[in-house]
Structure 1
Amino acid sequence: MDISVYRPGELSGTERAAWSTMQSQAHLLGTPQLANPFLAPEFALAVGRCRRGVRIAVIREDGEPAAFLPFQRSPLGVGRAIGLGVSDAQGLVHRPGFQWDSRELLHACGLSVLEFDHLVEGQKPFESAPMRSFASPVIDVDQGYAAYLAWLLENSPKFSRRTLSKERKLGRDVGPVRYVHDERDPAVLRRLLGWKSAQYRRTGRSDRFAHPWIVQLVDQLFHTRTASFAGLLSVLYAGDRPVAAHFGIRSERVLSCWFPAYDPAYAKFSPGLVLHLRMAEGAAARGLAYIDLGRGNKEYKDCLKTRELSVSEGWVSRPHPVALWQRAHRVPVRALRNTVVSRPELFAPADRLLKRMGRIRSGG
Structure 2
Amino acid sequence: MSLYLRVSESAEAGRLASLRAEWTELFDAAGQPTPFLSWEWLFTFWRAFGQRRDVRILEARGRTGRLEGLLVLQGRRPALGPRRWSLLGNGLAGADALDVLARPGAEPQVRSAIASHLLRTLPEWDALDLEDLPAGSPTVEALTRALAPHGVEVEVAPRFTCPGFALRGGFAEHLRRIARRETYGRRCRWLARQPGFRIEVATSVGEMAEAMEDFLRLHRLRWAPEGGSYGIPPGRVEEFHRAVAPLLAARGFMRLYRLFVQGRSVAAVYGLELGGRFYYYQSGMDPAWSPRSPGMVLTGRTVEDAYARGLGYYDFLRGTEAYKRDWADGGQETVALRLRSPGLRAEALQAAEGAFRAARDVARRVAPERIWLALRRARRNLGLGAMGAFEGR
TM-score range, shorter chain: 0.7 to 0.9
Structure 1 window deviating more from structure 2 (262-271 vs 252-261): it is 252-261
Aligned to 1:251: 274
Post-superposition shift, 1:209? 4.4
CA deviation digits over 1:207-254, x for unaligned, max 9? Answer: 454463312220122111477553332212224321111224332333
Q: Who wins on radius of gyration, i.e. which is larger?
A: 2
**Are 2:62 and 1:58 aligned?**
no
Q: Tell me the amino acid that sits aligned with residue 93 of structure 1.
A: L
Distance (Å, rounded) in 1 between the aligned partners of 2:363 and 2:331: 21
Post-superposition shift, 1:185? 4.9
Aligned to 1:350: 369
Match 1:137 to one of 139, 142, 163: 163
Q: Judging changes above 3 Å, is the alpha-carbon distance between structure 1 residues 226 and 263 closer, same or farther for their aligned structure 2 residues?
A: closer
What secondary structure is seen at the aligned counterpart in 2 of 1:115? strand
Structure 1 window deviating more from structure 2 (107-116 vs 262-271): it is 107-116
Verify the 8 A CA contact 2:61 2:69 in the aligned structure 1: yes
Q: Tell me the amino acid that sits aligned with residue 219 of structure 2.
A: K
Aligned to 2:90: 84
CA deviation digits over 1:183-220, x for unaligned, max 9? Answer: 72523422322332344442246645446331222012
Aligned to 2:389: none
Verify the 8 A CA contact 2:273 2:279 in the aligned structure 1: yes
Question: What are the within-5 Å matches in structure 2 for residues 1-364 of structure 1?
Answer: 2-6=6-10, 7-11=15-19, 13-22=21-30, 25-26=31-32, 35-50=33-48, 51-52=50-51, 53-62=54-63, 63-76=65-78, 77-85=83-91, 86-94=94-102, 95-96=104-105, 97-98=107-108, 99-100=111-112, 102=115, 104-105=117-118, 108=121, 111-126=125-140, 128=144, 129-133=154-158, 134-141=160-167, 143=168, 147-154=170-177, 156-157=178-179, 159-173=180-194, 175-180=196-201, 182=203, 184-204=207-227, 207=230, 209-210=232-233, 212-225=235-248, 229-330=252-353, 333=356, 350=369, 354=373
CA deviation digits over 1:128-172, x for unaligned, max 9? Answer: 43222242111333x4xx614412312x23x12211211211222
Distance (Å, rounded) in 1 between the aligned partners of 2:269 and 2:303: 12
Q: Tell me the amino acid that sits aligned with residue 133 of structure 2.
A: L
Structure 1 window deviating more from structure 2 (111-120 vs 41-50): it is 111-120
Verify the 8 A CA contact 1:204 1:354 in the aligned structure 2: no
What secondary structure is seen at the aligned counterpart in 1 of 2:170? helix
Q: Judging changes above 3 Å, is the alpha-carbon distance between structure 1 residues 265 and 311 closer, same or farther for their aligned structure 2 residues?
A: same
Distance (Å, rounded) in 2 between the aligned partners of 1:301 and 1:221: 25
Verify the 8 A CA contact 1:90 1:120 in the aligned structure 2: yes
Distance (Å, rounded) in 2 between the aligned partners of 1:138 and 1:339: 33
The CA RMSD over aligned residues, in Å, is 3.5
Distance (Å, rounded) in 2 between the aligned partners of 1:106 and 1:119: 20
TM-score of the superposition, structure 1-length normalised? Answer: 0.78
Distance (Å, rounded) in 2 between the aligned partners of 1:105 and 1:234: 43
Distance (Å, rounded) in 1 between the aligned partners of 2:361 and 2:130: 14
CA deviation digits over 1:22-60, x for unaligned, max 9? Answer: 1xx24xxxxxxxx21112222112212222334432122
Q: Judging changes above 3 Å, is the alpha-carbon distance between structure 1 residues 314 and 211 closer, same or farther for their aligned structure 2 residues?
A: farther
Post-superposition shift, 1:106? 6.6
5+ residue gaps, structure 2? 145-153, 378-393
Q: Judging changes above 3 Å, is the alpha-carbon distance between structure 1 residues 104 and 338 closer, same or farther for their aligned structure 2 residues?
A: farther
Distance (Å, rounded) in 2 between the aligned partners of 1:91 and 1:269: 40
Distance (Å, rounded) in 2 between the aligned partners of 1:274 and 1:44: 32
Verify the 8 A CA contact 1:102 1:126 in the aligned structure 2: no
Identity, % of aligned pairs?
22
Verify the 8 A CA contact 2:267 2:295 in the aligned structure 1: yes
CA deviation digits over 1:94-133, x for unaligned, max 9? Answer: 2444142647337559543222331113433435432222
Structure 1 window deviating more from structure 2 (118-127 vs 328-337): it is 328-337
> Between Structure 1 and Structure 2, how many residues are aligned?
338
Post-superposition shift, 1:69? 1.2
Verify the 8 A CA contact 2:220 2:228 in the aligned structure 1: no
Distance (Å, rounded) in 2 between the aligned partners of 1:205 and 1:165: 30
Q: Judging changes above 3 Å, is the alpha-carbon distance between structure 1 residues 314 and 231 closer, same or farther for their aligned structure 2 residues?
A: same
